[in-house]
Amino acid sequence: MLAYAGMGFVLLALVFGVVGAIVGFSAGRRDNPDGVKMTRWLGLAFSASMMLATVTMEVALLEHDFSVRYVAQVGSLSTPTYITIVSLWSSLEGSILFWGFVLAVYISASIALTHDRASPALADAIATWLAVGAFFCFLMAGPANPFLPLSSPVPTDGPGPNPLLQNHILMVVHPPMLYLGYVGMTIPFGFAVAALLRGSLGAAQLKELRNALMVPWGFLSIGITLGAWWAYEVLGWGGYWAWDPVENASLLPWLTATAALHAAMLPARRGTMKGWTTTLVLVTFLLTLLGTFMTRSGVFNSVHSFSQSDIGPTFLGFIAIVLVFSVVLVGSRIDRLEGEGEGGALVSRESAFLLNNLLFVALTFTVFVGTTYPLLAEAIRGVKVSVGEPYYNQMAVPMGVAVLFLMGVGPALPWGQPTAERMRALIPPVIGGLVAGGAGVAMGVRTTWPLLALVAAGFASTVTLVELGTALRVGLARQSRRIGGYVVHAGIIVMLVSVAMSSAYRLDEEMHIAKGETVSFQGYTLTFTGKHTEAESNRTRQIASVDVRQGGALITTLLPALNIYPGMGAPIGTPAVYPTAKHDLYLSLMSIDEDTIGVHAFQTPLMIWLWLGGGVVAVGTLISLVPVRVTAGAPVVAAPVGAAKA
Amino acid sequence: MKRGPVVLFGGLVSVAVLVAVLASGFQHDPHEIASPMIGKAAPDFSLVALEPSATGGEQVVHLAAQRSTPVVLNFWATWCIPCQQEHGTLLAVAREFGDKARFYGLVYQDKPEAIDAWLKARGRAYPTLIDTGSQAAIAFGVYGVPETFVIDKKGVIREKFTGGVTFQGMASLLNALIAEPS
Amino acid sequence: MMLLLSFALAQPPEDPPAAEPAAPASEDAPALVPTVAPDPTPIVGPPAGPPRTGAELDAATRQIASQLRCPVCQGLSVADSPSESAVAIKKEVERLASLGYSEEQCLFYFEASYGEFIRLEPKAEGLNLLVWGGPAALVLVGLGIVGWMRLGGRKTAPARAAVDPALAPYVEQVYAAVGRGPS
């Protein structure tokens, strides 16, 4: 029953999506207010159908209705309820349904929050969102149908979702964040398409575009950080990022969205670069599609990808259509859109923004080429090649350090013409950089790039703190955007320092510890005190108790474990982490039996700051979205000079 | 300067290249890696046999001593599910060609007791060698199990099967190799 | 464990004994059978350098292992992966490094059996140069465009009307509010 109801809602959403896209684009073209209104309602109808389809699936999952094939595939009576709920996105078909659900939430929220409800540009934007939504409904109606009924005898129980998904609570939080980031990029894409179709991008639309970009950017930042954290807490190799194609797929749209957020400052201030800004937004959306393709087409060799599926060619067809549409749109409108703005001096904030965009585009290109090159090499040379961590480290580290440095240079430089006074303001940051570098040397940092990263971080954080102080004096209500932006910068600086130090100075050792035996590792002593087994409904855990002492005093007991999922082959580990501000102690079990354990121990400096920095970025994003109170006729006082240079 | 035409031309060319590259990916299985060992002399190894009785009392098997007959090397492990599925096929092939070709199962990353129990449950028709420290697996460039290498009478690797083998594929290859002059 | 044993046997007589004591190896070895470890010389030639030991050996092993892709785990290097296959390859790397084979010789040795796929870093030759040169070319072209925009833009921009410095912040705010700068 539920299968048919769900299918019905998907088909309904497909109809609303297609009709809405047609009505919307024609209303936008003819500036027809009634058409705009109708498009809004069709958008809401699409969203409602999509949400009902998702609710239907959740009901089927919770009721363990194994007559729905998807439920029989990922459900299991022994799985805890919260995992049953999240198994909505644990396999291909459900994840497409979840994609549609998130899009529905975004579309309805965007329609509700738009100020100018009669704007024909809104009709174009909604039409674009619905066209994308209709494609995903089409996938669900055809090659990736989540509501296929099971014709053969209905099983009494299922295997449950992939054990890696069941293994950690972060897997419940991380995918929705990533989806909110990925799918949310459809919204700015719609606004950018509307701007290009109409050949104009006014101040109000630019603000709308920027806010629409900011929200998914924030979610994507959180999603990527949580993904890295999940890898760190679960995969047991002591690291958090392996430059795997699917990890890269999440990074690519983040990089271009970051570039777009910065590029959007130029038209806001100078009236230039509107075409470029909208292009970056289009590219960001395309990269989210590419990322979805990478995870779901079975073309890329990745640990995270879903198993081989039939949606690859359909999806690639859709990507090709959006690509051609975007190129034609930009090509035919860019000359109309580019305003005549003033560029400012060579050494000015404008230049810093351009360099920022260049660096982010170069980073995007590096990751993109590295990720797709194996396909090209196989097509042309017929040989499988790998592009992995050593490549990315060599290419991305210099660019990352340059970005860090620019985070200080940009805000320190004035718009337009630099003055001697403003240039003198660069002195404290330079001192800040030298102090940070000196502190690094004193702590034993001797390698070039980590040291340069520290200097750049010291420089950039001084600038950030000074600017933050200035903005805070003006007040949050008037400067939320600027304050939020600098808080984000502060978070990113913390994260980049953590990345630099944790990857350059991670120490590790593999050891075997007999029961009762004590070994020493980097100033800690580790004692294996015993093993116990815990049976849970969906798995059996073999847990080792390891007492950690420092200077003779017991500081903690770590419980690294190996988890055995019935019928799933090799056990999956759960490392145990003892985090401190200075470094993490990380124990990963390699083997366990009654009287001895094999442990891979890691000591990773400043690791915790990566996750804390991610939190700061999230807070900064929220602050920047606080609506600015514009008080009409507010007197311009001399004090907020700083305000003007934001 | 008009940028539109530049964007249009450059963009469409890039789109064509990108889509072609992505589409080419459908022709290849990302998990199948062509072995550079095919056509090369098989690296020699000396490995300990699990059941010396099956190797005529020999404790150690030297690959270099196996010339003049084709050799089939099957890398497997007890924890590998496709290995269980292909085991029946390999037994059948070994019974059919046992007198004209030599078969060895190479077990790596496993415990002898587990191997013995596994074989007792599923039957054995050829000797099992223990690849301690995965040395042979590394020398042959084994990515995972099961992988099966077929070596001709001159000691040259002629074929590598990734994943389960089929009776047909093995039989036709072995017939061809047996017919070759030694 | 067998590996350590065979490593000691395979060493030329003039080499110092292995840094790791070979003694525990005999406990695990199923039988005292001297198996011969593969000799990489036919594939990569004689070792390019003197034998390595101690910290130098550890550093070389780590460096080489970080360039090799773990065959069973796809994204990770042999140095990072906890899998048994990776551990076995790491031991083999250590053996080769201790004999004095250079980084490139070791990588070539593994490439000979596993194919180019085993290298985590594409060799800088042929089509692979795209991966290395592409981003660099993009940065150079981009710098050219940015420079041209900045310098060119300044020449063609209309002279900016003189603004009373006291009013400058207000003017800036107006520009910000209307969404474009002075034109």
Contacts of A337 (CB under 8 A, 6+ apart): A195, A196, A199, A200, A201, A274, A275, A278
Q: Is there a single domain that holds both residue B25 and residue B71?
A: no
Last residue of a domain, one of C118, C145, C160: C118
Whole-number pLDDT of residue C175: 61
Q: Which pLDDT score, from 0 to 100, does residue A519 have?
A: 92
| C183 vs A: CB within 8 A | yes
pLDDT band with cut points at 50, 70 and 90 for residue A613: very high
Q: How far apart are CA A8 and CA A141, in angstroms?
A: 10
ipTM attached to this prediction: 0.83
Place of tokens 């070039």: A448
Q: Which chain B residues touch C89 with a CB distance below 8 Å? A: 134, 138
Task: Answer yes or no: is C183 within a domain.
Answer: no
Assess if residue B10 is contained within a domain: yes
CB A362 within 8 A of CB A401: no
Does any domain span residue B112?
yes
Secondary structure of residue C150 in the 3-state scheme: helix
The pLDDT assigned to C165 comes to: 57
Res A537: pLDDT: 73
Q: Give C33's contacts in chain B (Cβ within 8 Å).
A: 46, 48, 59-60
Considering its fold, how many domains does chain C have in total?
Answer: 2
Higher pLDDT, C176 or A83: A83
Question: How high is the pLDDT of residue A72?
Answer: 84
Does C2 score more than 50 pLDDT? no
Average pLDDT, chain A: 87
> Could you tell me which residues come within 8 angstroms of residue B52 by beta carbon, excluding any fewer than 6 positions away?
B58, B59
Query: In this structure, which long-range contacts are made by residues A426-430, counting pairs with CB atoms below 8 Å and at least 24 apart in sequence?
Result: A428/A462, A428/A466, A429/A458, A429/A459, A429/A460, A429/A462, A429/A463, A429/A466, A430/A459
Reading the block at residue B9, the tokens are 């031309």
- Quickly state the pLDDT bin for A558 (edges 50, 70, 90): very high
Whether B66 is covered by a domain: the verdict is yes
Per-residue pLDDT at A492 exceeds 70: yes
Q: Which residues in chain C touch residue B44, judged by CB atoms under 8 angstroms apart?
A: 36, 38
User: What tens digit of pLDDT does each residue of A346-360 get?
Assistant: 777 888 888 999 999
For A498-542, write each residue's pLDDT tens digit: 999 998 898 888 889 999 899 999 999 999 998 989 888 777 889
* Whether C19 and C105 share a structural domain: yes
Place of tokens 């990507």: A319
Q: Are residues C130 and C114 in the same domain?
A: no
Answer whether B45 sits within 8 Å of C35, measured CB to CB: yes
Structure confidence by residue, pLDDT tens digits, C106-163: 999 999 889 888 999 998 888 989 999 999 999 999 999 888 877 765 444 444 444 5
Strand order through the sheet with B102-108: B60-62, B46-49, B128-131, B102-108, B71-76, B147-151, B157-162
A339 or A15, which is more confident: A15
Burial class (CB in 10 A: 0-12, 13-18, 19+), A581: exposed
**Contact criterion met (CB < 8 Å) for B48 and C1:** no
Is the same domain home to B14 and B86? Answer: no
When pLDDT is cut at 50, 70 and 90, the band that residue C6 belongs to is very low
**CA proximity to A130, closest of A279, A6, A19, A213:** A19
- Residue A567: pLDDT band (50, 70, 90) is low
User: Could you give the C-alpha distances from A513 to A324, A416, B54, in angstroms and in order?
Assistant: 60, 65, 38
Q: Give C15 or B139, the one with higher predicted confidence.
A: B139
Q: Are residues B88 and B117 both part of a single domain?
A: yes
Q: Looking at the domain assignment, is residue B131 inside a domain? A: yes
Residues of A in Cβ contact (< 8 Å) with B25: 297, 299-300, 375, 378-379
| Residue pair B61/B94 in contact by the 8 Å Cβ criterion | no
Do B104 and B173 lie in one domain? The reply is: yes
Q: pLDDT digits over C34-71, tens only?
A: 456 777 887 888 888 888 888 889 889 999 999 999 88
pLDDT band at A340 (very low <50, low <70, confident <90, very high): low
- In this structure, of A413-427, B120-134, B153-167, the range with the lowest mean pLDDT score is A413-427
Pair (C34, C108) in one structural domain: yes
- Per cent of chain A over pLDDT 70 is 92
Picking from C91, C113, C117, the nearest residue to B133 by CB comes out as C91
- Using a CB–CB cutoff of 8 Å, tell me whether A591 touches chain B: no
Asked if residue B75 belongs to a domain, the reply is: yes
Q: Whole-angstrom Cα distance, residue A72 to residue A159?
A: 8
Radius of gyration of chain B (CA): 22
Report the chain A residue with the minimal C-alpha distance to residue C136: A362
**Cβ B7–A331 below 8 Å, yes or no?**
yes
User: For residue B157, what is the domain's CATH number?
Assistant: 3.40.30.10
Residue A247 near residue A300, CB atoms below 8 Å: no
Residue B35 lies in a domain: no
Residue written as tokens 């292009």? A279
What CATH number did the domain enclosing C53 receive? 1.10.8.640
How buried is residue B169: exposed, middle or buried, by Cβ count under 10 Å (0-12/13-18/19+)? middle
Element (H, E) at B147: strand B147-151
A412 vs A321, more confident: A321
Least confident of A112-116, A308-312, C72-76: A308-312
CA closest to B78 among chain A residues = A569
Q: For A415-448, how does the pLDDT look when each residue is reduced to its tens digit (9 = 90+)?
A: 777 777 777 778 888 999 999 999 999 988 888 9
Cβ of residue A313 closer than 8 Å to a chain B Cβ: yes
Where does chain C have alpha helices with state H?
A: 2-10, 25-28, 41-44, 54-65, 84-99, 103-114, 129-156, 168-178
Contact B22 A335 (CB under 8 A): no
C101 and C20 belong to one structural domain = yes
Delimit the domains of chain A by residue range: 1-161, 180-256+275-338+351-401, 507-608
Q: Which two tokens stand for residue A356?
A: 């920022």
Lowest mean pLDDT segment, chosen from A59-68, A421-430, A587-596, C6-15: C6-15
Look at residue A279 and tell me whether its pLDDT is greater than 90: yes
Q: How far apart are CA A5 and CA A53, in angstroms?
A: 8
DSSP designation for A606 = T
A116-125, A245-254, A366-375: least confident range: A116-125
- Taking contacts as CB-CB distances below 8 angstroms, the residues of chain A near C172 are 415, 644-645
Shortest Cα–Cα distance, B121 to chain A (Å):
18
**Same domain, yes or no, for C160 and C71?**
no
Nearest to A267 among C77, C120, C180 (CB): C180
Question: Which chains are adjacent to chain B, needing at least 3 Cβ pairs under 8 Å?
Answer: A, C
Contact C180 A390 (CB under 8 A): no
Instruction: Taking residues A178-191, report their average pLDDT.
Output: 95
How far is residue B157 from each of residues A156, B35, B71, B72, B177, measured CA to CA in Å?
49, 10, 9, 10, 11
Chain A hits for C122, CB-CB cut-off 8 Å, are 373, 377, 385-387, 391
Q: How many residues does chain C have?
A: 183
Residue keyed to tokens 């420089």: A459
pLDDT, position B13: 92
Q: Which residues of C touch B33 (CB under 8 A)?
A: 114-115, 117
C167: in domain: yes
Give A316-324 contacts, CB < 8 A, sequence gap 24+.
A316/B19, A316/B22, A316/B23, A318/A135, A318/A289, A319/A286, A319/A289, A319/A290, A319/A293, A319/B19, A319/B22, A320/B15, A320/B19, A322/A285, A322/A286, A322/A289, A323/A286, A323/B15, A323/B18, A323/B19, A324/B12, A324/B15
A557 confidence band (pLDDT: 50, 70, 90): very high
Judgement on whether residues C142 and C76 belong to the same structural domain of the protein:
no
State the pLDDT at residue C157: 42
- Does residue B16 share a domain with residue B50? no
Name every chain C residue with its beta carbon within 8 A of the beta carbon of B47: 35
Chain A neighbors (3+ CB pairs < 8 Å): B, C
pLDDT band at residue C178 under the 50/70/90 scheme:
low
Residue numbers of A between 293 and 312 with CB closer than 8 Å to B = 293, 297-301, 312
My answer on whether C91 and C140 are in the same domain is no
User: Is there a domain that residue B96 lies in?
Assistant: yes
User: What is the mean pLDDT of the segment spanning B5-24?
Assistant: 89
pLDDT at B57: 62
The more confidently predicted of residues A557 and A634 is A557
**pLDDT for A223 beyond 90:** yes
- Are residues C78 and C140 both part of a single domain? no
Are B79 and B117 contained in the same domain? yes
- In this predicted model, what pLDDT tens digit does every residue of B51-84 receive, in sequence order? 766 666 667 777 777 778 888 989 888 877 788 8
Q: What is the pLDDT of residue C8?
A: 30
List the domain range (segments joined by +) for residue B9.
1-30
Report d(CA B130, CA B109) in Å as an integer.
9
Task: Please provide the average confidence, as pLDDT, over all residues in chain B.
Answer: 83
* C20 and C103 inside one domain: yes
Burial category of B27 from C-beta neighbours within 10 Å (exposed 0-12, middle 13-18, buried 19 and up): exposed
Statement to judge: residues C89 and C149 lie in one domain: no
Quick: pLDDT tens for A462-479.
999 998 998 888 877 778
B12-41 mean pLDDT: 83
Q: Which helix (H) or strand (E) holds A84?
A: helix A81-86
Q: Give the count of beta carbons closer than 10 Å to the beta carbon of residue A481.
A: 22
Is the pLDDT higher at B173 or at C21?
B173
Q: Do C60 and C141 have their domain in common?
A: no
Contact B26 A333 (CB under 8 A): no
Q: Do both B6 and B90 map to the same domain? A: no
Please state, for a pLDDT cut of 90, what percent of chain A lies above it.
Answer: 50
| pLDDT tens per residue across span B87-128 | 888 888 888 887 888 888 888 777 778 888 888 888 888 888
Q: How many domains does chain B have?
A: 2
Are A101 and A50 in contact by the 8 Å Cβ rule? The answer is yes
Which 3 state secondary structure label does DSSP give B140? Answer: helix
Cis peptide before B146 (omega within 30 of 0): yes
Same domain for C75 and C144, yes or no, is: no
The residue segments making up the domain with residue C49 are 2-118
Q: Which of C86, C118, C150 corresponds to the end of one domain?
A: C118
Nearest to B36 among C33, C38, C112 (CB): C112
Give strand pairing partners of A295.
Answer: none
